[in-house]
Structure 1
Amino acid sequence: MTLEFPVLLRTIDERAAAFRAVVASAPSLAAQVPTCPEWTLLDLVRHLGEVHRRWAATVTAGPADARPAPTEGAAAVPQEREALLAWSAESTEQLLGALRDSGPDRDCWTWWGGSQSPQTCGAVARHQVQEAAVHTYDAQLTVGSPEPLPEQAALDGVDEFLSTCCSGPDAWPHKPCAVDYRATEGRSWRLTLTAHGTSATPLPAPGKTPTEADATLRGTASDLVLALYARIPVNSLEVEGDGHLFDLLLAWDPDE
């Protein structure tokens, strides 16, 4: 089940606040982010803030065939920590304000038009939970104190990633297969990959799956999300079957 819209907004707010708390405690904004090696912590803050502002503008624009053009004359991102954190908080509030004003069912442009996720403001909120949660992990790792993603966000995150980032009409360039993702918290999903496209479906309770998967990845929901976003290696989780399929998935770029 997708999280309710108020829960999505609250979780974005909570994760963004946790993100800023980590940044406030960091010895230096020049620290390199291990999971985004081309970025410093300052770059990470800039990225998340700009993502929040861009999606705020997209949500506010409503239904559109293309992403709205960037606002002219946007203020420069502050370099000093206190001002940077204030800018970050303002960025998050812009996003949350736009989402509150729109409501979950209003259409808007999204980059995942061909996927199983709808092109709605509610789907934007759902994806932004994961953006904030994963980048909070990035920041925590940078200062040496990584924590698991909150369970509720992580469980929704596996489903959201598979439905938004993996499903669609693009042809799987390898032998057709089915891979399962099983969270130790009790939920499971199957990703089916064929020459006609890919689809994600929740699985029934253990022992009731009608057919065997070609490969299964098992771990906490947090670890599954972090593996899907290439924050931790797949082989740090429990792999059954043809584990090479997960490497192919990580390397697959449908746009190529």
Structure 2
Amino acid sequence: MTDSFEYSALLRLIEERSAAFRSAVAAAPGLDVPVPSCPEWTLFDLVQHLGTGQRWWAAIVAAGPAEAPPAKDPAQAPGELDALLAWYAESNELLLSALREAGPERECWTWWSAGLSPANARGVARRRVHEVLVHTYDAQLAAGAVEPMPVDVALDGLAEFLDTCNSTPAAWPHEPATIHYHATEGRSWLLALDGTGAWPAPLPDDAAPASASATGTAEQLLLFVWGRLTLGDLKTEGEPRVFEQLIAWEPEV
């Protein structure tokens, strides 16, 4: 796992980003406005998705080590704005309370247990920071007023995505390749793809040229790996099909 924020800072960021999310929802023209970055979703759908996720991960952390996660609550979120915002605030507090009670090292079920991110409360907290971060961008886009992401959080967001979503022992089904990600704020990462799986790491100074590389701000790179931007929004070098193969890859472990 690459370096990240302290556990207490992750909990603070969940709270701060969730406040920004609620503000964006409150500022939107209505809950029925479309979310351009989430096709076929309205703003209501986005709030219900994120709030349901906070409640589900709260239950997962509270359950501790388990072979499978608890079922998601099928209840529909309220449809009126004030009630919906209160429901989301409650959802977020349920997650924060579970994370505070658990402490960073409590193990729990996670879908990323075979990769670099730890299958514990710390790994959950870090993942939820960036879920809320990106969905806040989605909500702000729907409201027509996107604000810049905090640079340090966006940098950690890219590292977290690589640790969680792009690390696996499942064999890469294509010709071995490397991808370099370069953030203009001064950090870079290497993603190696071969028969041993996909493994990210900080980019060493003496790294060989990559099969493909992408350069942009931390926010641009984060939004790219989350599917909100395209390669055309970044400066790229090398073979673009490597990115296409990675995006299409659904490894089974």
What band does the TM-score fall into relative to the shorter chain?
A: over 0.9
Equivalent position of 1:163 in the other structure? 163
Cα distance between partner residues in 2 of 1:122 and 1:81: 32
Equivalent position of 2:37 in the other structure? 35
User: Is the partner of 2:41 in helix, strand or coil?
Assistant: strand
1:112 aligns with 2:109: no
> Does structure 1 retain, via aligned residues, the 8 Å contact 2:52–2:72?
no
Equivalent position of 1:121 in the other structure? 121
- Per the TM alignment, residue 243 of structure 1 is displaced from its structure 2 partner at its CA by 2.1
Equivalent position of 2:185 in the other structure? 185
> Does structure 2 retain, via aligned residues, the 8 Å contact 1:148–1:223?
no
> Does structure 2 retain, via aligned residues, the 8 Å contact 1:134–1:149?
no
- Per the TM alignment, residue 75 of structure 1 is displaced from its structure 2 partner at its CA by 4.9
- Per the TM alignment, residue 69 of structure 1 is displaced from its structure 2 partner at its CA by 3.0
- Per the TM alignment, residue 76 of structure 1 is displaced from its structure 2 partner at its CA by 3.6
Equivalent position of 1:220 in the other structure? 217
Among 246, 250, 253, which residue is 2:250 paired with? 253
Cα distance between partner residues in 2 of 1:89 and 1:6: 19
Equivalent position of 1:244 in the other structure? 241
Equivalent position of 1:86 in the other structure? 86
Cα distance between partner residues in 1 of 2:247 and 2:145: 26
Equivalent position of 1:51 in the other structure? 53
Q: Which amino acid aligns with 2:86?
A: A
Q: Which amino acid aligns with 2:80?
A: E
- Per the TM alignment, residue 154 of structure 1 is displaced from its structure 2 partner at its CA by 0.8
Q: Deviations over 1:167-211 (max 9, x none)?
A: 11112111100001111111111000012211111113xxx2331
Cα distance between partner residues in 1 of 2:53 and 2:235: 33
Percent of residue pairs identical = 53
Equivalent position of 2:21 in the other structure? 19
User: Is the partner of 1:107 in helix, strand or coil?
Assistant: coil
Task: Give the TM-score taking structure 2 as reference length.
Answer: 0.96
- Per the TM alignment, residue 149 of structure 1 is displaced from its structure 2 partner at its CA by 2.1
Structure 1: which 5+ residue stretches go unaligned? none
User: Is the partner of 2:39 in helix, strand or coil?
Assistant: strand
Q: Which amino acid aligns with 1:144?
A: G
Q: Which amino acid aligns with 2:154?
A: A
**RMSD (Å) for aligned C-alpha atoms:** 1.4
Q: Which amino acid aligns with 1:251?
A: A
Structure 2: which 5+ residue stretches go unaligned? none
Cα distance between partner residues in 1 of 2:156 and 2:225: 13
- The number of equivalent residue pairs is 251
> Does structure 1 retain, via aligned residues, the 8 Å contact 2:172–2:194?
yes
